Amino acid sequence: MAVTPASAPMNPLDIASHGPVIPVIVIDRVEDALPLAEALLAGGVKVLEVTLRTAAALPAIEAIARHLPEALVGVGTVLNADDARRASEAGARFAVSPGYTSDVGNACKGLGLPLLPGVATSGEIMAALADGFSFLKLFPAEAAGGIPLLKAWASPFGQVSFCPTGGISQATAPNYLALPNVCCVGGSWLTPADAMRQGDWARITQLARDTHALRAPV
């Protein structure tokens, strides 16, 4: 059943305005969706990226969108137009892709679904810019070049803001967040697999609270 989003589509950069870290979430059991989202919300993390890596992902997005409208639940690992459509129907408020194609970009535009496209090369950045996207995900961040790459891109792509994702930890996140062209980071450390299996929601809430100290005061 389709879920109507709680409000009008957001500007993609609004995603970054709610905190320095977007949790990259893999949900194996639908029944974990609501307690997990509640644990993250309790820790002050409002933007949730549920990846399309398991059969539970779309039902989990629908459950969160329906029962916790205060959460900004989005979909990750969007590979094609059908992924975007199904996620939008489930109630996703935004989409994240590991790479960029115009097909995915145009599909999300047609759905009114804000897209955070993944890039790993200058050519991908140029393609995304040509289609109107300037808030981009560097993925996989560490493997693609990490902080030195983002510093090198700052001059030719001064109009681009980044959300580096992939290989970033609680320890290294502050180094990324200190860069002027980085708005936020994506991280899987907020939802450890063992904590998910054990239902240790208090641990996840504490990890969420800890994210607010990662960005140094300006």
Residues involved in catalysis? 49, 137
Residue 64, token pair as written in the block: 């969160």
Q: Give the separation between CA 152 and CA 117, rounded to whole angstroms.
A: 19
Cβ proximity of 104 and 97 under 8 Å: yes
Residue 52, token pair as written in the block: 């399309």
Q: Give 199's DSSP letter.
A: T
String of DSSP letters for 26-69 = --S-GGGHHHHHHHHHHTT--EEEEETTSTTHHHHHHHHHHH-T
CA angle in degrees (0–180, nearest 5) for 12-13-15: 75
Q: How far is CA 132 from CA 95, 116, 127, 196, 215, in A?
A: 15, 11, 9, 37, 28
Residue whose tokens read 């200190």: 178
Neighbours of 168 (CB within 10 A): 24
